């Protein structure tokens, strides 16, 4: 089941850039994002009104990773300890629970993913291997920990046998808060694009790559005000995007024209050939037709 019709092993990678605005990313059109989009599609998505989906980090990543809206997973803020992530866990946990042969990997340094801060750890049981760096231990925060996440993720994606991986970078959000959406913000997006290039290179350089088909998706949790900051309901804060591409795929994929953040989890499941259980409450549908 986890092989394509032409016998390739299905693999999936979800890369997260925290707080990257779609309009800025489109204006920059950096090479690695363009490379990925050229193998699939780049959707502009707009988060629902803030009373449905607050433009807050823990809420955004919970929605993307669980495939259900905040009204279901109940994560309402970064420090929220009363939620239903145990009932609506991440797509990594779901995939492993559905099929114990699916190996899952996470790499991140935001507290919610690897500690008990707020709704964490979002990358909890069912994540077979986790590269986690507690950014509180590093003076530069994400500027120090993102390169460590990249280094581990590059190695794991290159030589590991993981089937479904999630790799998160937090620098852009930090810069957005500090400087607004200006030159510094554009510069850090270029850095993240280079990280994406390195991850794609790690995948394409695998010794088994010619026998694999990789779905790679890229997304963000929220946008930023021009002057920096998020949490409100402005268009700038509600901006998001999904980029998805199939690497090593032999057939021309049929991608849906519209996308929403809740489509990401079912898209990963569809690619991994994991049947979606109605009890999971997935609010979206696979982007591959």
Please identify, using beta-carbon distances, which residue of 221 and 263 lies nearer to Zn ion. 221
Collapsed DSSP state (helix, strand, coil) of residue 118: coil
Decide: is 18 part of the binding site for Zn ion (CB under 5 A).
yes
Residue 19: closest CA among 235, 148, 167, 176: 176
Binding status of residue 78 toward Zn ion by CB under 5 A:
no
221 vs 260 by CB, closer to Zn ion: 221
Beta carbons of 253 and 217 less than 8 angstroms apart: no
User: Around Cβ 35, how many Cβ atoms within 10 Å?
Assistant: 17
Part of the chain binding Zn ion (CB under 5 A), chosen from 5-13, 84-92, 173-181, 278-286: 173-181
CB-nearer residue toward Zn ion: 55 or 128: 55
Distance of alpha carbon 244 from its chain centroid, rounded?
11
As a whole number of angstroms, the distance between CA 50 and CA 45 comes to 14
Q: Is the dihedral of CA 112, 115, 120, 125 positive or negative?
A: positive
Q: In angstroms, what is the minimal distance from the CB of 18 to Zn ion?
A: 4
Stretch that binds Zn ion, among 10-18, 47-55, 73-81, 91-99 (CB under 5 A): 10-18
> Closer to Zn ion at the Cβ: 19 or 284?
19
Short-list 171, 203, 198, CA closest to 186: 171
Q: Residue 247 forms beta bridges with which residues?
A: 214
Q: What are phi and psi of 164, to 5 degrees?
A: -135, 120
The DSSP secondary-structure symbol of 34 reads H
Q: Which of 193, 221, 263, 270 is close enough to bind Zn ion by CB under 5 A?
A: 221
- The stretch among 8-16, 179-187, 220-228, 264-272 that binds Zn ion (CB under 5 A) is 220-228
Alpha-carbon gap, residue 255 to 244, rounded angstroms? 9
| Distance in Å, CB of 243 to Zn ion, minimum | 17
Least spacing, CB of residue 181 vs Zn ion, in Å? 14
Segment interacting with Zn ion (CB under 5 A) among 13-21, 65-73, 175-183, 273-281? 13-21
Binding to Zn ion by residue 165, rule CB under 5 A?
no
In the complex, minimum distance from the CB of residue 122 to Zn ion, in angstroms, rounded to a whole number: 13
Q: Which stretch binds Zn ion (CB under 5 A): 50-58, 90-98, 131-139, 274-282?
A: 50-58
Q: Which residue is nearest to Zn ion (CB)?
A: 57
Residue 105 C-beta-side C-alpha neighbours within 13 Å: 23
Any contact of residue 270 with Zn ion (CB under 5 A)? no
State the residues that interact with Zn ion by CB under 5 A: 18-19, 57, 173, 221
């Amino acid at each position: 089941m986890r092989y394509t019709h032409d016998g390739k092993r299905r693999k999936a990678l979800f890369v997260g850039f925290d707080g990257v605005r779609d309009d800025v990313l489109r204006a920059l059109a950096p090479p690695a994002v363009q490379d990925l989009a050229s193998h699939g599609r780049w959707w502009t998505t707009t988060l629902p009104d803030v009373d449905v989906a607050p433009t807050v980090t823990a809420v955004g990543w919970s929605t993307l990773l669980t495939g259900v809206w905040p009204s279901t997973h109940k994560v309402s803020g970064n420090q929220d300890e009363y939620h239903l992530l145990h009932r609506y866990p991440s797509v990594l946990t779901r995939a492993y629970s559905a099929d114990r042969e699916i190996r899952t990997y996470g790499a991140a340094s935001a507290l919610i993913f690897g500690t008990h801060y707020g709704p964490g750890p979002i990358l909890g049981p069912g994540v077979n291997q986790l590269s986690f760096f507690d950014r509180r231990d590093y003076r530069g925060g994400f500027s120090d920990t993102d390169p460590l996440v990249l280094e581990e993720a590059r190695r794991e994606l290159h030589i590991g046998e993981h089937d479904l991986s999630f790799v998160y970078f937090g620098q852009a959000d930090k810069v957005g808060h500090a400087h607004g959406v200006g030159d510094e913000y554009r510069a850090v997006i270029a850095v993240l694009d280079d990280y994406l290039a390195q991850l794609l290179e790690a995948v394409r350089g695998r010794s088994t790559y010619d026998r694999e088909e990789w779905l790679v998706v890229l997304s963000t949790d929220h946008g930023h005000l021009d002057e920096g900051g998020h949490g409100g309901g402005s268009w700038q804060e509600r901006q998001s995007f999904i980029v998805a591409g199939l690497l090593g795929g032999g057939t021309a994929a049929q991608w849906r024209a519209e996308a929403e953040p809740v489509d990401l989890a079912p898209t990963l499941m569809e690619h991994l050939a994991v049947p979606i259980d109605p009890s999971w409450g997935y609010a979206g549908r696979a982007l591959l037709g």
